[in-house]
Amino acid sequence: MLPRAIFRLTRLPAQLAICTAVAALVELAIYYGRWSGADLTALDRSTFITALGTVATLVALFCSLSIAWILFVSQQSKGERLAAYDLMKSRLLEAQRWLLSLPETEDRETCLSLAYELDKLDLSDLPQTDRGPEYAAYCEALDAGLDSNNTERRIFYLISSTHFGYIESLLNRIGLVSIQQLIARLFIDTLAKGVALVGLSVLVLTASLLWYDESLKPTFVIASTFIAVGSTLLLVEVLVDLRRYYDDEIDFIESSDTDA
């Protein structure tokens, strides 16, 4: 797991504060150049445009890669959600056929009520935190049936719990995938920051082509410093997002910093 302090660097207010603070320090260094040693005399228009253009190119490359990554994650989650829903419908159909093949009893009707209510659910209705009164009625009947002295009734609920237990695990899987789709928004927010930095870089580069002179040179340097620090923080945020996604996928082993 990454330290909590690194996660704080991914928040927009903290990033803006750091960029502003570093830009202010650069401004002080330029203003007190006699003591800081900062000298902008040798910095001409072409050198400035080349340096800032390189940063803008790297951020633009990141944006293009992020778009591909976002599409991959979203399509993967969507496909997994559809697959789980189709499998749930298939297992629900098996449960309904099994129940309809049995003689009509109160226990069978309780299970059928739950099966028909689950069958009404569309993919857009999932996930749901409240399974409804039919689910509560089935749970109560299941507890009573498993504790029953009637062997036939107990076997019936053992089989029904196998069917509905698997269906419930698929519903839970749909819920987890839906949460992953919400987490994908983090990648979109990161991409939006990258696009904003590219736009700001283009604005500064255009302004430097028109008004670059000795009086405005410190302003352009301060602006480019803000963009450069923001780009560095953006790379840190990408690392955090990728590590978070990686840790979420590793769910079959215990993750620990103390592992050998």
Residue 218 forms part of a structural domain: yes
φ/ψ of residue 251, rounded to 5? -115, 10
Residue 256 forms part of a structural domain: no
Enclosing domain of residue 55: 4-249
The answer to whether 6 touches 18, Cβ cutoff 8 Å, is no
Distance CA 241, CA 113 (A): 43
Nearest-CA neighbor of 213 among 25, 30, 38, 40? 40
Nearest-CA neighbor of 191 among 18, 14, 73, 48? 73
Q: What is the pLDDT of residue 109?
A: 92
Q: What is the pLDDT of residues 149-197, one digit of tens each?
A: 888 999 999 999 999 999 999 998 888 888 777 777 778 888 888 899 9
Residue 105 forms part of a structural domain: yes
Residue 145 forms part of a structural domain: yes
Token digits for 158? 């053992």
Distance CA 205, CA 214 (A): 16
Nearest-CA neighbor of 190 among 251, 245, 152, 141? 245
Residue 240 forms part of a structural domain: yes
Peptide bond into 13 cis (omega under 30): no
Q: What is the pLDDT of residues 22-56, one digit of tens each?
A: 999 988 888 887 787 777 878 888 988 998 999 89
CB atoms within 10 A of CB 4: 7
Q: What is the pLDDT of residue 259?
A: 43
Token digits for 68? 């591909």
In the predicted model, is pLDDT for residue 57 greater than 60?
Answer: yes
Residue 116 forms part of a structural domain: yes
Residue 41 forms part of a structural domain: yes
Q: What is the pLDDT of residue 4?
A: 67
Please, what is the average pLDDT of the chain? 84
Residue 63 forms part of a structural domain: yes
Nearest-CA neighbor of 52 among 212, 208, 219, 187? 208
Q: What is the DSSP letter of 103?
A: P
Q: Specify the number of domains making up the chain.
A: 1
Token digits for 200? 């700001």
Q: What is the pLDDT of residue 24?
A: 92
Q: Where are the alpha helices (DSSP H) in the chain?
A: 4-8, 12-31, 33-36, 45-100, 106-119, 133-146, 151-211, 217-249
CB atoms within 10 A of CB 47: 10
